[in-house]
């Protein structure tokens, strides 16, 4: 599932209304790469709206999907890590990167 929303909307909903913990991870990249990432994600969201797929915990989960998008733009791809199968631990990988 892709959530396309403004940062303010997502944070206000999760932090203020649901009282969830929210963590932001700043991204160091160029505006062109950020735009390319956004377009790639929106394109994938559109593809899924036309041809839905089942969520797969090991091969196609929320974290592995983000990794696929980012690896299209990186010269040094993010390697596979077991924490990508368990999204609970994926913030550690994001923070380290």
Residue 35 or 84, more confident: 35
Question: What pTM was estimated for this model as a whole?
Answer: 0.78
Q: What is the pLDDT at residue 43?
A: 96
Residue 66 Ramachandran class (φ > 0 left, ψ -120 to 50 alpha, else beta): alpha
For the chain, how big is the Rg over CA atoms in Å?
14
| Beta strand segments in the chain, E | none
- pLDDT (0 to 100) of residue 83: 80
**Predicted pLDDT of residue 2:** 80
9-68 pLDDT tens trace: 888 888 888 888 877 777 788 999 999 999 999 999 999 999 998 888 888 888 888 899
Whole-angstrom distance, CA of residue 81 vs CA of residue 94: 11
């Amino acid at each position: 599932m892709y959530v396309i929303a403004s940062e303010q909307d997502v944070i206000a909903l999760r932090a203020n209304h649901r009282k969830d913990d929210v963590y932001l991870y700043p991204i160091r990249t160029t505006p062109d790469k950020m735009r390319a990432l956004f377009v790639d994600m929106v394109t994938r969201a559109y593809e899924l709206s036309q041809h839905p797929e089942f969520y797969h915990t090991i091969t196609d989960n929320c974290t592995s999907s983000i990794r696929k998008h980012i690896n299209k733009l990186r010269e040094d791809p993010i390697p596979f890590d077991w924490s990508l199968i368990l999204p609970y631990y994926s913030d550690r990988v994001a923070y380290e990167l």
